[in-house]
Amino acid sequence: MGSKRTLVPMLGEIATATGSKTALDLFTGTTRVARRFKEQGLAVTAVDTASYSEVFAKTWIAIDAKDCDQNELEDAVARLNSVAPSAGYFTKTFCEDARYFQPMNGEKIDAVRDRIETDYRSTWLYEPLLASLILAADRVDSTTGIQMAYLKQWSKRSYSALKLTNPGLLAGNGVAIRGDAMEIAPQLPSADLAYLDPPYNQHRYFANYHIWETLVRWDAPEVYGIANKRTDVREAEHRSRFNSKPDMPRAIRELIQGVKCETLVLSYNNESWLTRDELIEICSSNGHVEVLDVDFKRYIGSQIGVFNKSGERVGNPGAKRNTEHILIAGDRKMVSSIAKQLRD
Ligand SMILES: C[S@@+](CC[C@H](N)C(=O)[O-])C[C@H]1O[C@@H](n2cnc3c(N)ncnc32)[C@H](O)[C@@H]1O
């Protein structure tokens, strides 16, 4: 999910070095970065447009583990694991018409998802159970990671039986907001630290993770094409300004001007539409800017190439590595000292 797993320790160090108590994660995705901030004791606000991301943010950021009876969650997970499989929309669409999951797992997903809706909809367990189901499904899928296509041959892990586990709640404070960062950011109170990790090319997350959207919404949408994507992925409301080459520079500039924070951190890919110098110039509205360049292993799909439904290669593998720029903007003394510390 474009997750910043390898950058998380560095972002955690920036939070510590700045002495931040509050943080914004405006494109939170998997919430991996927001979780690190929360684990370090910061009060975090996590924002994203995706429904599945809101489920993750409600689970890991908004819920304070200290306020919950963990046994209730354990019991619910165990109950769901014992639900009898039953084929429905999910099995038909994603296991028979397409081959993202083995039918035995699709039938289980159908049954578990229905049960979450009927038994837990109005309880605090709803989002943690949905998060648990997405994670369980992710462990047995047959893709290279994104849902633009599925593998020609079933992946090894797709043969494993779907099993829900406790998603593991975190203690601490946080807020989950589903919405457009452009609109939400100016309305939020000032934070010590703001982390921005916007999409950096034309690929839309709503389309790349359409199955998680459907699993959360549970709205049995009409689908199209080989990948069986929701027909509404084509609608304008699901396009992000960050996916548009002509509009993206303006969007980033407006966003950064609207975010109220002491220290701003932006991560951006060297294959994006903006150069390093343009990024520095844009971030300088928040103070002095330092850039850290991090070597990054590319998404596996781009290493093995792109295939069509018959398994023929229709795209070539890209370069195996790329660079992620981490821009830190804020008080000169603080930013210079953090950059030095992280470079050493
Ligand atoms: C590069 S990913 C972020 C990954 C995240 N840092 C992580 O570690 O999982 C970009 C995210 O921005 C979200 N997004 C796209 N346009 C958005 C917008 N206008 N406002 C808020 N979120 C948006 C996408 O849904 C996606 O989750």
> Rounded to an integer, what distance in angstroms lies between the CA atom of residue 224 and that of residue 219?
15
Assess whether 181 and 232 both reside in one domain: no
Mutating to test ligand 1, I would choose from 45, 49, 233 the residue with most ligand atoms within 8 A of its C-beta, which is: 49
Q: What is the number of domains present in the chain? A: 2
Nearest Cα residue to atom 12 of ligand 1: 27
Nearest Cα residue to atom 11 of ligand 1: 27
The pLDDT assigned to 8 comes to 93
Distance in Å from the first CA to the final CA of the chain: 30
- Whose structure tokens read 């890919």? 269
Q: Which of 217, 237, 257 is the last residue of a domain?
A: 237
Residue numbers of the chain with a pLDDT score lower than 70: 1-3, 296-321
| Helical H segments across the chain, by residue range | 8-17, 32-39, 51-57, 70-81, 89-91, 103-120, 126-139, 181-184, 205-208, 210-217, 248-258, 276-283, 300-304, 332-343
Assess whether 318 and 196 both reside in one domain: yes
Assess whether 161 and 22 both reside in one domain: no
Longest dimension (CA), the chain: 61
pTM of the model: 0.92
Q: By C-alpha distance, which of 160, 203, 183 is closest to 318?
A: 203
Amino acid residing at 289: V
Q: pLDDT of 299-340, one tens digit each?
A: 555 555 555 555 566 566 555 567 888 999 999 999 999 999
Amino acid residing at 10: M
Phi-psi region of 154 (alpha: psi -120 to 50; beta: other; left: phi over 0): beta
Helical (H) or strand (E) element with 262:
strand 261-269
How large a percentage of the chain has pLDDT more than 90? 77
**Strand 223-224 relative to strand 229-230, pairing:** antiparallel
Assess whether 318 and 198 both reside in one domain: yes
Assess whether 228 and 256 both reside in one domain: no
> Rounded to an integer, what distance in angstroms lies between the CA atom of residue 24 and that of residue 189?
10
Backbone angles phi, psi at 297, to 5 degrees: -80, 135
Assess whether 152 and 278 both reside in one domain: no
- 42: its two tokens: 């910061």
Assess whether 291 and 156 both reside in one domain: no
Assess whether 145 and 77 both reside in one domain: yes
Domain that includes residue 251, residue range: 1-61+174-204+239-344
Assess whether 309 and 195 both reside in one domain: yes
Assess whether 106 and 2 both reside in one domain: no
Q: Which of 221, 237, 253 is the last residue of a domain?
A: 237
Q: Which of 237, 257, 284 is the last residue of a domain?
A: 237
Assess whether 212 and 326 both reside in one domain: no
The pLDDT assigned to 313 comes to 60
Ligand 1 site residues, Cβ closer than 6 angstroms: 1-4, 27-30, 32-33, 47-50, 53, 180-182, 197-199, 205, 240, 242
Assess whether 81 and 24 both reside in one domain: no
Residues making up the chain, counted from first to last: 344
Q: pLDDT of 26-81, one tens digit each?
A: 999 999 999 999 999 999 999 999 999 999 999 999 999 999 999 999 999 999 99
The pLDDT assigned to 296 comes to 67
